[in-house]
């Protein structure tokens, strides 16, 4: 199978580093900070969308300033505050050994995503690590992967609506993971074909995908 993983909320829990970096940006803009728990809803979307909502503005200059402050902290400190979800490293190793083609498609900048994967010692399990940054959309990353893999079927794995919407828009089988930051309702409403409760269930994806296909008449 060709498995495309989101990074934040799917492979690792980035909440400490992201929420602290969001507050760092707010503080440096002279604005009030927020409790970390209230900022976890911003884990997943692009930084442009995050700061547009968080600052309640369409001011491109202000949003760019916020992103610069965020990246200043995250690139130096924040990405090291990530924590891998239990058993994820062994799961990726097993999937890779089974000859599944693994990719990462994340809204992070490509170099930051690569740094996170290398920090955790998992980068070698992936054929490629792709990131959006401020210039690309996640659907473009998945389409690029599809072209690299000669239009073979792709499984998109993520924890937020942005992953499901991007995958569904080009016909992927979409797997929503419930150990991240998206709710069951969010994932179902945005097109998840199946939902997983625990990372270990990733090892059963082939069987689950086949079962879904038989039940849905595909």
Positions marked catalytic: 6
* The token pair that represents 63 in the structure block: 């949003």
Q: Which of 87, 88, 45 is nearest to 70 (CA)?
A: 45
Task: Tell me the chain's radius of gyration from C-alpha atoms.
Answer: 17
Count Cβ atoms below 10 Å from residue 37 Cβ, excluding itself: 9
| DSSP notation for 89-139 | HHHHHHHHHTT-EEEEEESS-HHHHHHHHHHHT-GGG-SEEEE-TTT--HH
């Amino acid at each position: 199978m060709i498995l495309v993983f989101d990074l934040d909320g799917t492979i690792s829990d980035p909440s400490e580093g992201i929420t602290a970096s969001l507050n760092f940006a707010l503080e440096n803009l002279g604005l009030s900070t927020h409790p970390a728990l209230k900022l976890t809803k911003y884990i997943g979307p692009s930084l442009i969308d995050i700061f547009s909502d968080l600052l309640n503005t369409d001011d491109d200059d202000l949003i760019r300033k916020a992103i610069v402050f965020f990246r200043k902290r995250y690139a130096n400190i924040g990405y090291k505050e990530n924590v891998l979800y239990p058993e994820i490293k062994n799961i990726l190793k097993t999937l890779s050994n089974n000859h599944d083609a693994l990719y990462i498609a994340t809204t992070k900048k490509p170099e930051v995503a690569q740094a996170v994967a290398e920090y955790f010692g998992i980068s070698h399990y992936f054929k490629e690590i792709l990131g959006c940054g401020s210039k690309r959309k996640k659907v473009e990353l998945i389409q690029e992967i599809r072209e690299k893999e000669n239009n073979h079927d792709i499984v998109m794995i993520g924890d937020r609506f942005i992953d499901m919407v991007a995958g569904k828009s080009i016909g992927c089988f979409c797997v929503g993971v419930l150990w991240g930051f998206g709710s069951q309702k969010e994932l179902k409403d945005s097109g998840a074909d199946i939902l997983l409760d625990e990372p270990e269930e990733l090892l059963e994806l082939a069987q689950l995908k086949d079962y879904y296909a038989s039940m849905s008449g595909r």
